Structure formats: C-alpha cells, structure tokens
Amino acid sequence: MSATPQLPPVAKLEQKTVIDLVAKGKRIDERGPESYRPIQIQVGLIEKANGSAQVHLGKSKVLAGIKVQIGTPFPDTPDEGVLTVNAELVPLASPSFEAGPPSEAAIELSRVVDRGIRESKALDMKSLVLQKGKTVQVVYVDIYVLDHDGNLIDAASMAALAALVNSKVSKMEVKGDEVINKGGHHQLPLNNYPVAVTFAKVDRTIIVDPSLEEEQVMNARLTVTIDKNGDICAMQKGGLYGFTPDEVRKAVHMAVGKAAENRARIMAAAKG
Amino acid sequence: MSATPQLPPVAKLEQKTVIDLVAKGKRIDERGPESYRPIQIQVGLIEKANGSAQVHLGKSKVLAGIKVQIGTPFPDTPDEGVLTVNAELVPLASPSFEAGPPSEAAIELSRVVDRGIRESKALDMKSLVLQKGKTVQVVYVDIYVLDHDGNLIDAASMAALAALVNSKVSKMEVKGDEVINKGGHHQLPLNNYPVAVTFAKVDRTIIVDPSLEEEQVMNARLTVTIDKNGDICAMQKGGLYGFTPDEVRKAVHMAVGKAAENRARIMAAAKG
Amino acid sequence: MSATPQLPPVAKLEQKTVIDLVAKGKRIDERGPESYRPIQIQVGLIEKANGSAQVHLGKSKVLAGIKVQIGTPFPDTPDEGVLTVNAELVPLASPSFEAGPPSEAAIELSRVVDRGIRESKALDMKSLVLQKGKTVQVVYVDIYVLDHDGNLIDAASMAALAALVNSKVSKMEVKGDEVINKGGHHQLPLNNYPVAVTFAKVDRTIIVDPSLEEEQVMNARLTVTIDKNGDICAMQKGGLYGFTPDEVRKAVHMAVGKAAENRARIMAAAKG
Amino acid sequence: MNKLPEPKQPEKLIDDKGLRIDGRRLDELRPIKLEVGLLDKADGSAYIEQGKNKILVAVYGPREAHPKHIAMPERAVIRCRYHMAPFSVDERKNPAPSRREMELSKVIRESLEPVVLTDLYPRTTIDLFIEVLQSDGGSRCAGITAASLALADAGIPMKEMVAACAVGKIEGKLALDLSDAEDKYGEADIPVALVPNAGLVTLLQMDGHLTLSEFEQGFTMALEACKTLNAMQREVLKKKYATIKEAAEEREEAEVVA
Amino acid sequence: MNKLPEPKQPEKLIDDKGLRIDGRRLDELRPIKLEVGLLDKADGSAYIEQGKNKILVAVYGPREAHPKHIAMPERAVIRCRYHMAPFSVDERKNPAPSRREMELSKVIRESLEPVVLTDLYPRTTIDLFIEVLQSDGGSRCAGITAASLALADAGIPMKEMVAACAVGKIEGKLALDLSDAEDKYGEADIPVALVPNAGLVTLLQMDGHLTLSEFEQGFTMALEACKTLNAMQREVLKKKYATIKEAAEEREEAEVVA
Amino acid sequence: MNKLPEPKQPEKLIDDKGLRIDGRRLDELRPIKLEVGLLDKADGSAYIEQGKNKILVAVYGPREAHPKHIAMPERAVIRCRYHMAPFSVDERKNPAPSRREMELSKVIRESLEPVVLTDLYPRTTIDLFIEVLQSDGGSRCAGITAASLALADAGIPMKEMVAACAVGKIEGKLALDLSDAEDKYGEADIPVALVPNAGLVTLLQMDGHLTLSEFEQGFTMALEACKTLNAMQREVLKKKYATIKEAAEEREEAEVVA
C-alpha cells in the first residue's frame, strides 16, 4: 500500500527561507530557477561491469552499472533481448533510506528511468538475440544511489545513459548448446539518448533540478524525458499537489533545452 | 504460527441478541435455523477469464475466475493436468482483512474449496494433458472475496463451481514445440459438482449458513461438501470449540439436501 | 542487518558464579576447562532420510538428516554434484529461537558446518555426477536443533558427519531422459572426516565446549575444524570481543586432539 | 513453452472511415458505467466500467491508524492500493503486488491527495482499495475516477472530485481513452488526472513517442475528457442523493399517513 | 527431470486374509510409543511414534506475549506451529512453511483450544511447537495426541486431554489409522480429535469419497480409537508421576538415613 | 544455458621468479587507497580501494533506535550491513541479501564491537553500511579497515582502530592479501582483524587446507599486515585533521587580516 510519506522534520524557519527565496526567483544555493547544480560524470569506474558511470549532481551521487548476461526471451517477444532496470536506495545514501526490499520510491525511480530507455527505443532490443526464442542477452542496468541530496531521477537517468554509452560487451554466438565468445568487444547498440529533466513547483514557481531541501518543501514534481530528436518519450508527475496545465506546458518546453545540454555533457564524458 | 484470533469487539448486547434468538429457533435476519440467505449467481461477468461467476449470499459477495494456462505436470502425475485454487481476502471486502500474503483464513478457504473439487474428481485431470509428462493445461481457480458478511466457504464453493461450469477454453494441441489453437472452444470437462454446506453451532443449536454476526458468536463451524451422488467428498471443522458426535451426524445428513438445492441453483444460473 | 544481540537477562549472581569458577580452572558442571560434556551419537533414526544422526552434547540435542535428490549442477561446476547444508533453529529448541526465515545465528551455523565438509573435501563431489553438466545428485544436509544448551556448532558438525557416514543411497544412472535405479545401495563417497572443536574465552580462560550458561558470559568463541590428517579446514571466530594471538594458537593446537577423540566417537557410532 | 497461443495483432487500429477497432471516433470515450454504494462492509464504494475495464473501489476511514506509528499528528494519512485480480488480464496475474501495481498505487494516491481535507482527521488513515476485476487499458484513470466517487460515498470531505482519462497515439494519430489493444500496439499513452475547478493536473505520466505539438494537442484532449468524466461523476452523486431524499420523503409521508 | 525414481505403488493394500501391508487388521492402530519430558529448554515436551511417524512437541508458556499487541486482556493466546523437518518425507521438504502446514497449524490449535483453561493466564501466550521429524500418514492426529501430553507436562491446566486418530477407506473398506501408502493410494481419510469426557469433536476433516453410511461407521471407529489413545495418554502421565513420587520418596528415605 | 562464457583459469598463480599474477611478491599487499569524508548525508564515511576492491562505508549515529524495542538500556546497539552492488562481481548479484552477506555482516560487526565505546550512547544505534561497489577478494577485510575509518570520521569514540587483512595459500605457498583469482584457485584463505594496541584478534575465519605450521606462519603474516594497514589508517586521519587545522588557521589568519 502506498501511504502519505512522513517527511523528516525540517525546521519551519529553514523551510520558509527556501520558499521565500524561490518566490523571489532565487535559490538557497544561489542558482537561478532554471539552472542545474554542477554536474560531474565519470565512466568506467567499475571494471567488472560491462559499463558504468557515476554522476555527481550537486551533492547527489548516483552510480550505474551495466551487466550483460545470457537468458531466455519473454515468451511474447521471442525476437528481443531483455532489459531490466533496477534502482537501490541503499541506506548508506540517506538517513531516510532503509535496508530491505525496494521502497515505492526506489520502484518509481527505476521505472521512470526504464521508461525513458525503453520508450525512446534507446537500446536495440533485436540485436540482443543470439538464438530466436531461446537465447538472448539480458541487459541489467543497476542504479545505486550513494548520496541523496535531491533529484535522483535526473542523476540516475544520466548515469544509466552514460553507463550504456560506456558499455563494452564480448561478441558472442551460440554454437550447438553453448554460448561462446567470438572474440572482440562492442558497445551495446544504442539508437537513442533519452535524458530526464525534473522540475519542482515550490510555492507557485517552477524550478529545475530541485535539491533535497527544495524537494522537502515542493508542492509537486514533474519529470519530462526527452529523446535525441527533442521529442518526449516519458513523463512522470509526483508529489502531493499538482500543476496547472500552463505550468505543465512551460516545463515540457523548458525540458527540451535542458535535456540537450545534459546529453552533450553525458556524451562528452562517456566517450572520454 | 497459528494464533487464537482477535475477534472485533461486538457489542455484548448485540451478541446476546444473536444467541438468544438462535436459542429460540429464530435468527437475527428472520430466517429459520436451516435456511440459507438469498442466493444470487451470475456467470460470465469477466470476459477475459475462461470462466467466471459472482455469488451473492445475503450480503456476502464472492467472485471466482478461471484461467487456463499452459504448463508442465507435476513429476509424480505426468498424465494429469494441474489444478490450483487460490483465495484472496482483499482488504476491500472487510475491515478485518489486511493487504499482504494470504492469511491462514484465506489459505483454509482455498484449501477447503480445492478439496471439494479435487476429491470429488469434479475436473477431469487427465483430459488436461496435451503431451504426457511435458505439457498440460493448468487450471487456476481464483476466488476473490468482495464483501464479507459471513460463510465465505459456501459462497466461494458455489462461485468456483459455477465458474467451472461457465468455462470456455480454446481447443489446443501441441505441434512440434508449440501449443496451437485447433479452433473452437469447449467447456472444462466436469465429472462432478461438489457443493459445500456450512453449519455453525451457536449456543447449543446447529444453524446453516451463518452470517458474520453469527460467526462472531458461534462455538464452532462445520463444512460438509457433498457431491452429485449425495456422497461426502470433503469436511472441515473450524472454530474454538467442538461438536458432539450427534451434532456432526445431524449436520452431515442435513448437508445432503442443502447441497442438492444449491447445486440446482448453480446449474440453472451457469447454464443460463 | 546484523545487530548487537540482546542476551536473555541472566541473573548477575549466576553469571558471576560461572565466571569465578572458570577463573579457578573449574566449571559449573564440574568439568575441567578442556573437557567436553558427555556425547551420545545415534544414527539411522530417520528411515526416510538417506542418512541421519542425533547427537546429544550434554543437554544440547541436534538431529541431522541427509536427503539425496536429483538436480542440475551449477553452471561453473558442470562436473560436480551439489552440496547444500541448512540449519534450522526451530523455536521448539529454545525460548530464544523464533519461527521465521533463518536468523543470522542459523545461517552462521549452517555455513560453518558447510565449510568443514566442503573445504576438507569430505564429500566426493565428482562422484555425484550422473550426466556431466546436466544431471547430478544434490546432497542436502539438514541440521535440526532440538534442544539448545550451548555449543551447537560442535553438535551440528558431529551430527552432520555421522549422518553422512550413515548414508545409504540407491545406485542410479541416467537412461535416455530418465534417472533409473540400477539396484543396490551405497554410502555417499567420503574422503575426509572433518570435526569442529569450539572454544570459549570466559574471563581470561580458554575452555572447550561451552554450555549455554558459559556462552552467555563468554567474551568470544573460536571454532577450529580439523580434518582426518590433523590439518585445519575451517575456522570461525564469534562473539563481541577477541582473542590474543597466543590464545588462538593454543586453541588451534588443542583442537587437533579433541577432534581426533570426537571423530573416533562418531565413527564408532556411525558404523555401529 | 509456458504460454497460450497469443491473440493476433489487429491489422489496423484505425479503419478507412477513421473509426477505431471498437467503432469509436478518435475523440470518443468508451461507454462508461458508474455506480456508488455497492459494498456493505466498506465505508464507501464505487464501481466503474469503462470499455471492458471493471473496477471496484472501497474506502475505509477515517479510521484509527494501525500500526500507530504511521499516524500523523496534523493530518490523516491516505493509503492506497491498486491491485489486479489474477483473472483480470490475458495471462493470469500473480496476486502478489507487482512493481507496476506499487507504482500505480503511489501515483493514484498522489492524484487524490490534493482534494481530500485530510487536516480534519488527524491521526487517522483513509484507506482506498482499488480492485481491478477486469483490465482493458486506462485502468489507473478509471480507478481514479471511481475512487473519487467512493470517497464521496464514504462522506470524506473533499474540495471537489478528481477525474482522469488517458489520451494516446495510434497509427500516428491522437486518440482518446485507449483500449488494451490500442495501448499495446499504439505509439504513446498519456494518463492525466484533473481537479477541474482548481485547474490542477494531479496525475501526469507518459510513455511512447510524442512531438511537443502532439503532446500539446493530446494533453488538451485529455483535460477536456476529464471535465466530461467529472460531469458524469457529479451526475451519479446527484442521482444518489435524489434517491436518498426521495426515500426520506416517502418515509416522512408514510409517517404522516400513519 | 528433477525427481528420484518413485517407490512403486503396492499391488494390494489388503491381502486375502484381510490384513494390510504392514500386517495390521482393518481396525488396528499402528504401534505407538509415547514419552514426556525429553527436552531441557521447553516448559513441557512429548514425543510420539505412531508407525513411522516420529513427532516431537514442545510447549513454552504461559509466557509474556511478544509482540505485546497480540496479547488478549481476558485470556491466554494459544499459538501453534505444525512444522515438518526437511528430511521427514520422501522428497525433501523446503523448510519454509507450506500452505498445508499453515492449515494444519490452525486446525490443530482449534482442536486443543477447548480444553486449555486459558482464562487463568490473561495477557500471556501458550506456544505449541510440533516438529514432525518423520511423517507417515496421520501426523496431524499424532501431533494432537502428543501436544496434549506436552501441555500436561508443562503443567498447563486443562479440563482433560485431547486424543486424535484418523480412519480411512482403502480398497472400499474402512480402515483405522492409515499409513502413508494407504493414505496415498486409498480412497478417503477422516482425521478426528475427541475430548473424551466432554464428548466433543474438536478436529474433523475429510477428503476423498464416502457414502453417508460409510462416514457414520468410520466416524464411530475413529471416536473409539481416540478413546483408546486417551487411555494411553493417561497411562504415560500416571507413570511419569509415579516415577516422580518414587524419586521423592527415595530422597526422603535417604534423608532419614543420613 | 544461462551463463556467459567463463574467464579462463590462469595457468600458474606464481611464476618462476616467485611473483604473482599481478606482479606482487608473496608477502606484498595490493595497492591501497584510503579516503574519508566523501559522503554528504552520512555522519561519517570512508572509501577503500585494495586491488580492484572498491568499497564505500557510511556511518549513521549514534542515533535514536528505530524501532524502539531494539534499543539497549546500557549501551549503543551496533548494526552492520555488508552488501554487494549487483555489478560488483562477475555474474550479476541479486540485490537481496545472500546468506554469505548475512554471515559477513555478523562477523564484521563482531570485529568492530570491541573498540567502540558503546556505553557512552545508551538507547541509540550506530549503523554501519558497507557497500561493495566492486569485489576482488578480501572484501570483508577491506570493509573492516574502511569501516574503522568511517567510525572515526563520524566522531564515534573508539579505543583505537581495527585493521584487517587476509593471508592465503596458493600453489602450496603462503601469500598475503589474496586477489579474487588467487582466492578462487588457491588452497586456503584466512581473514584476520586485529586491534593492534590491545593485541586482540577480533575476526578470524579460515577455509581450505592448512597444516598447523602453515597456519602459524600465515597467521603471523596476517597480523603484521594488519599493523601496516593500521599505520595507513592513522596516516589518513592525521592528514584529514591537518587539513582541517590548516583550513581553520587560514580562516583565523583571514579574520586577523580582515
């Protein structure tokens, strides 16, 4: 069951400061309403993964790792590989995270990142088939949150994309009953590069890339995931209140530019 | 672990009223001790199921749905299909039901309905085999309790039987490695029509079809499942106290007639 | 998460008595520091198991049962059978055990026993293969604690070994797609006979085979598992404090003799 | 081999006359049936049929929070469970909650939170149980529409009711209220919930592919449909209270006669 | 292919002399061994062998309810776990509780509730752990018979002890106390528990096929067998107290001598 | 067929010059990198690279025990979770905790309990989260080494820091600090944790085959390595405090100037 979340007690005064600043077009960390925090992207940190990337979004830190395994296709898509996106909100990252099965926040995070990749057709699913209906590559995208200072969706979405771009997989084929290495490596075949851009509504103002302090006072959250053509491939509204239709429209338009900027950062970092 | 259940606090006065009435051969809803509440049976409500039926037993409402899937037989019965009966006591149906894995009440309910079907050999298990030892039809009978006003066993048993009678399954066969439709439909092959009849002992009186108010004051409960020949195929005693041997004998004899009446209702409704 | 355990409140006075006695080179049950409690071993009690043994170590009672089933090998060891050791701390055995999934104590117990068997290469894993990469025997060693009066590791280790020695398995082979009995039985092929010896440090004294009362006041615990050649095959330190290097060395040396004594007892009992 | 033979993909989702596989126009809602107050034990209940969707919603509460530590001192906690019956979909669904059901429970709860006057009932819970008996695309939206009615039926004070509807893209065209097959073989789906008078969008998700102008157009279609649905919701409640009033008047008359 | 070769089905369950595969007559119980007080840590314990069934029962309590919210202000809560060891059956049983074990835990608890004087120990629990070390048909009944003894051994006040026994139908004939093979290849099984002096049936289940007159006859056989088992139970307790008394007298004598 | 082609077993673990596959001598530690204070939200944190191990540790606490019943009236409860990221090993690891992770969480906690002054913080918990981002043999020891630093970084009062290192046997020879491949194809592994000044061994496990004299020799090697690691730990803290002091002095100077 999903229940109204119990937010950590934030000092009322601090809360008011955050809101008042936003109302004046300012922010507590001195950014403008439409600015991201500093973004750092590092790829290839996890040598045992088929791809990996760490994103620092301000003080938020997210690590994504790709593992490619061998498995069977789903019965209704015998000519496609399998993509699994999983997010772990490990208790190392925040006093509000608990050990145990994925919380609804972790599930929402993984599903929003998953939709971005899947719906933009970023990963060429057909190329993952080794033997139709029988043997396919299973691509695991595991998102590991290491420090939670807000806007995990954008950090995770960037880390996942950078890790995919960073990927290196042995060339394989099926011989008889076995999967064997053909020799050589290739990148996972990517056709698109989706980037999530998240907005928060604080008081009556729309800001981009909310920090944790801002998330704790926001009315609602809207993520718009934009593909390489500037089209929308996923959206997700969250939070206890709503947006006016015009706020939605404004956010969607703003997302296109922000996504392009962040995509450029990812590509630069991932290709080294 | 099974623990003495915590019953909801029923006002002592109300409790006494229910008991006193039964002691006088009357009941709080003006039925006689040997009368069922009004029974309504509707079949075919769930088009996506292979069979479905909704039973209103007084204010109790139970929906049963049949799904036929393809699977493998159990290793020790390679020449039989698989029957799985599952009951969900969803929290929508009662303030006393909770979300989560099946409670012991849900497990008992499903197992008593299962035993009636299985032990009366109602479903022809051998006819479900598509390829001996390899491919069989798996028949899921899912019981969904929608409103709990007592005597769920009888309501569920009737709903399950009506849904089986209502069933419509594509004709299938195995060709090479695949299951294909041969075209056409058939009813699941039924050889028997078991009906559960439940008695409660309130004070020292045996009544049939206890309502929730009666269940909350009953000493014990006895279900007798009767097959189409008037023979017994399953029994289950429940509750914190017991029955005298003579009370058991009386209930068993009474069950035969009640089962026949309810079976006639089911067949009429299911065949439409 | 592993948490500092909440020990049952042992009367301070009683605690002091246990410690004072050990400090004087004595023990509450009148043993010497280097003596085991009386050991009784009975094999073959569970006819339905492929092997079984019950060990009484003082008032501690542990039952081990072997089941041999058919399964598939792990992909990375296609030419080996499978060994699974599992320990259940059922709530029947102690007021401190709870029903539910295995506690960390149960997991540690099973893993220490497992390591003794596996690392000493006691069980000939290759001989369990019926068809390389496809069909192997899976040996389950299930440890059932019936009465917990301390030092479960040694009792479980002895019971597991005695049950393996007591084992009797049908001779099998694979014909076509089926496993069939060739007729006759054999013992599981054993190449080694590991025995665990556990020490506790109470105050500053090392004692062997701690009883429950001693475990409740001990600083730390050290298990040394010795193989038939007097070599070490497994070790495990437990408890909230530590050992000096010299205490460790002393325990390791003492373990060799104790293991030999207990191994002789097991072999005598198991071979009958 | 653990699957039934699949139903075939329809050859076309839109025919030459611009009609969809179920005969609807692109901007047409499926037939909708709304009922309230069907369940005996729940404090409030509602039922919706929208196309082949059949969804039952129960509300329990405001009631004492259990376990106690989930209570909030200054407001009621809203809890929501979106759950699918095993027989509600083509392939039997395991009754344990899936990740999808957990996500939908969250976004549905969030779509309703803004209208419920939770501060009237501190330390309590208001529990919403949405049982999808049959699913046919758009079940989260239909669930929200019905849940608002169930809350009203339970007498939970609300600012107004929330209505929800999805718009999608099939064969390159925007289409209202996608059915299962349209969702499966279509190109995009945007579920939207609207609080009509406040003009607040409280559910908004999307998956697939949409240009900005397609989104703009589709979003507007969805908002209009939400308003239509909201009118239906109000109609149902009006009818209910009329019935109650009638019954009361008849009772009064009867008393006068007596 | 994940199964051992199956043991063969016996050709006949009843031979020409009317004897069963283990040589018993139709109305004969299997050999029974009862012991009490074997466990050190439990407050009470008992052990039963009935045929190849080997079942150990421990009782803990009355003890403080934990967690507290399960306590009842006016009576003790009885908790019961029927559990099978992984090696107790032909094919290894997963140690996690199965649906069957959960149902049996419930009906066993309900069979014992009526005799325990729970109102003497409000706010406590009395916990019963039934561990089936080897199972051979009729383990729920043997478990009840042993559990009553364990309760007595723990000094829990009871009105009297409950005894249980099953009767079944094999090859068309009623037979007492079915073994595993008889249960598997037979036609019906009726486990019954009786509170002998009160004349109360507190466990009654049945599966298979029985005419009414077969039921009537079998039910009576089972009730009689319960009475026989109850006499055995009482004998065991008598012997236990005799031993205790003897030991006490010896001690007294020794003291006098000293 | 659900596995990738396996990496090949190295032909030799020790070459003709007595060097190991990564070029180390038998008594040589892998390159080690230690950092503290990298995480923003944690009360203390540390990071270790030891060979290809990459391990991040966070400490939260002392903080209020939650749920309350786990609190102890006379001391802080230490809780510890050793957990591996799914991508940390060759074959993807399911994120649910394995039995191995549960055992390691216990022995790591027990290795640190003796040095923490838990009696200063009754009724609280001190929580240690060890996340193995990449695993390369010896991760439990590296985790302990880093955890001590994270506790220091969190300002938790300790008697001293614990350091840990494993020694193993490969191709019949004792070798310090086994890598993954050496552990897999070697003959024994002995993880050891030492409280250096107190001279207390607080972690000691072993699996494989060792004669008594091999154990004696290897154990001594491991203890020496723990002392080396402890010096590194102290160095890192010294550097941290130097940096803090410098920053403070600069601030002071700046203030003087201003």
Over residues A154-162, mean pLDDT: 98
Distance from CA of C103 to the nearest CA of F (A): 9
Report d(CA F99, CA F83) in Å as an integer: 11
Beta bridge partners of D208: D188
Determine whether the interchain pair B99/D81 forms a contact, defined as Cβ–Cβ distance below 8 Å.
Answer: yes
Q: Say if residue D102's pLDDT is above 80.
A: yes
Which pair of structure tokens corresponds to residue D12? 């076309």
Among F2, F4, F53, F130, most A C-beta atoms within 10 A, so best to mutate, is F4
Percent of chain C with pLDDT over 90: 91
How many CB atoms neighbour CB C149 within 10 A? 21
Determine whether the interchain pair E203/B237 forms a contact, defined as Cβ–Cβ distance below 8 Å.
Answer: yes
Over residues C144-167, mean pLDDT: 98
Over residues F201-208, mean pLDDT: 98
The dihedral through the CA atoms of C35, C38, C43, C49 has a sign that is negative
Report d(CA F92, CA E258) in Å as an integer: 74
Per the listing, tokens 């509602």 go with D46
Q: How confident is the model at residue F147, as a pLDDT? A: 98
CB B1 within 8 A of CB B9: no
Backbone angles phi and psi of C151, in degrees to 5: 55, 55
* Residue B252 host element (H or E): helix B245-271
Contacts (Cβ under 8 Å, ≥6 apart) of C151? C57, C60, C198, C209, C210, C211, C215
| Lowest-confidence region among C13-27, E239-253, F105-119 | E239-253
Q: What is the mean pLDDT of chain D?
A: 94
Q: Which of residues 129-168 of F touch C (CB under 8 A)?
A: none
CB B266 within 8 A of CB B193: yes
In angstroms, the Cα distances linking F59 to A197, F49, F198 are 32, 18, 24
Determine whether the interchain pair D212/A241 forms a contact, defined as Cβ–Cβ distance below 8 Å.
Answer: no
Candidate from C90, C135, C147 with C-beta closest to E40: C147
Report d(CA B150, CA B60) in Å as an integer: 6
3-state secondary structure of E25: coil
Chain E residues whose CB is inside 8 A of the B2 CB are 79-81, 102, 105-106, 108-109
Tell me which residue of A48, A49, A130, A116 sits closest to A82, measured CA to CA: A130
Which pair of structure tokens corresponds to residue A142? 């595991």
CB F68 within 8 A of CB A68: no
Region label for E112, one of left (φ > 0), alpha (ψ between -120 and 50) or beta (otherwise): alpha
Beta bridge partners of E209: none
pLDDT confidence band for D1 (50 / 70 / 90): very low
Candidate from F77, F79, F114 with C-beta closest to C242: F114
Report d(CA A79, CA A76) in Å as an integer: 9
Q: Residue ranges per domain, chain A?
A: 19-270
Nearest CA in chain F to C72: F1
Chain C residues whose CB is inside 8 A of the E66 CB are none
Whether E80 and chain B come into contact, CB under 8 Å, resolves to yes
CB B122 within 8 A of CB B193: yes
Q: Say if residue F1's pLDDT is above 60.
A: no
CB F108 within 8 A of CB F49: no
Contacts (Cβ under 8 Å, ≥6 apart) of A129? A73, A79, A80, A81, A135, A136, A137
What tens digit of pLDDT does each residue of A50-81 get? 999 999 999 999 999 999 999 999 988 999 99
Q: Interhelix angle for E99-112 vs E139-153, to 10°?
A: 50
pLDDT confidence band for D250 (50 / 70 / 90): confident
Distance from CA of E15 to the nearest CA of C (A): 25
- State the DSSP string of E150-189: HHHHTT--BSS--EEEEEEEETTEEEES--HHHHHHSSEE
What tens digit of pLDDT does each residue of E55-102 get? 999 999 999 998 888 999 999 999 999 999 999 999 999 999 999 999
Q: Which of residues 40-59 of C touch E (CB under 8 A)?
A: 45-49, 52, 59
Q: How confident is the model at residue E1, as a pLDDT? A: 44
Tell me which residue of E134, E160, E139, E136 sits closest to E149, measured CA to CA: E160
CATH level 3 topology of A19-270? Ribosomal Protein S5; domain 2 (3.30.230)
Chain B residues whose CB is inside 8 A of the D4 CB are 68-70, 170, 172, 179
Which pair of structure tokens corresponds to residue E225? 């067998």
Nearest CA in chain B to D134: B46
Which pair of structure tokens corresponds to residue D18? 């611009």
How many CB atoms neighbour CB D112 within 10 A? 25
CB A74 within 8 A of CB A139: no
Chain D residues whose CB is inside 8 A of the B47 CB are 52, 134
Superfamily of the domain at D32-257: GHMP Kinase, N-terminal domain (3.30.230.70)
Helix ranges, chain D (H)? 99-112, 139-153, 180-185, 212-257
Tell me which residue of F216, F46, F198, F71 sits closest to F131, measured CA to CA: F46
Among A232, A240, A241, A253, most D C-beta atoms within 10 A, so best to mutate, is A232
Q: How confident is the model at residue D130, as a pLDDT? A: 98
3-state secondary structure of A7: coil
Low-confidence ranges of chain B (pLDDT < 70): 272
Backbone angles phi and psi of E168, in degrees to 5: -140, -175
Report d(CA B186, CA B170) in Å as an integer: 7
More confident residue, E106 or A178: E106
Tell me which residue of C78, C86, C148 sits closest to C117, measured CA to CA: C86
What end-to-end distance do the CA atoms of chain A give, in Å?
44
Nearest CA in chain A to D96: A1
Which pair of structure tokens corresponds to residue E75? 């009576």
Q: Say if residue F3's pLDDT is above 70.
A: no
Q: What is the mean pLDDT of chain A?
A: 95
Q: Which of residues 233-252 of D touch B (CB under 8 A)?
A: none
Q: Say if residue D242's pLDDT is above 90.
A: no
Q: Say if residue E7's pLDDT is above 80.
A: no
Chain B residues whose CB is inside 8 A of the D58 CB are 91-93
pLDDT confidence band for E200 (50 / 70 / 90): very high
Chain E residues whose CB is inside 8 A of the B1 CB are 79-81, 105, 127
Which pair of structure tokens corresponds to residue C52? 């079984």
Q: How confident is the model at residue E256, as a pLDDT? A: 64
What tens digit of pLDDT does each residue of F28-81 get? 999 999 999 999 999 999 999 999 999 999 999 999 998 888 999 999 999 999
DSSP-derived letter for residue A106 is H
| Side-chain half-sphere CA neighbours of B161 within 13 A | 34
Q: How confident is the model at residue C177, as a pLDDT? A: 80
The CB-based long-range contact list for E28-32 (8 Å cut-off, 24+ gap) reads E28/E176, E28/E177, E29/E165, E29/E176, E29/E177, E29/E225, E29/E228, E29/E229, E30/E177, E30/E179, E32/E229, E32/E232
Q: How confident is the model at residue D255, as a pLDDT? A: 67
Backbone angles phi and psi of A154, in degrees to 5: -65, -40
Report d(CA E231, CA F135) in Å as an integer: 64
Candidate from E79, E114, E204 with C-beta closest to B222: E204
CB C39 within 8 A of CB C57: yes
Tell me which residue of C92, C104, C95, C108 sits closest to C146, measured CA to CA: C92
Q: Does chain B touch chain F (at least 3 C-beta pairs within 8 Å)?
A: no
Among B110, B226, B237, B258, most E C-beta atoms within 10 A, so best to mutate, is B237
Contacts (Cβ under 8 Å, ≥6 apart) of E173? E14, E26
3-state secondary structure of D101: helix
Report d(CA A254, CA D252) in Å as an integer: 62
Region label for E185, one of left (φ > 0), alpha (ψ between -120 and 50) or beta (otherwise): alpha
What tens digit of pLDDT does each residue of C84-108 get? 999 999 999 999 999 999 999 999 9
How many CB atoms neighbour CB B171 within 10 A? 11
Which pair of structure tokens corresponds to residue F24? 């180390």
Report d(CA F102, CA F114) in Å as an integer: 20
Tell me which residue of B225, B254, B32 sits closest to B117, measured CA to CA: B225
Determine whether the interchain pair C6/F72 forms a contact, defined as Cβ–Cβ distance below 8 Å.
Answer: yes
Q: How confident is the model at residue E246, as a pLDDT? A: 82
CB A161 within 8 A of CB A194: yes
Q: What is the mean pLDDT of chain C?
A: 95
How many CB atoms neighbour CB D24 within 10 A? 18
Q: How confident is the model at residue B176, as a pLDDT? A: 83
Contacts (Cβ under 8 Å, ≥6 apart) of F38? F45, F46, F47, F56
* Residue F109 host element (H or E): helix F99-112
Size (chain F), residues:
258
Q: Residue ranges per domain, chain E?
A: 32-257
pLDDT confidence band for E254 (50 / 70 / 90): confident
Nearest CA in chain C to F83: C1
What tens digit of pLDDT does each residue of A201-235 get? 999 999 999 999 999 999 999 999 999 999 999 99
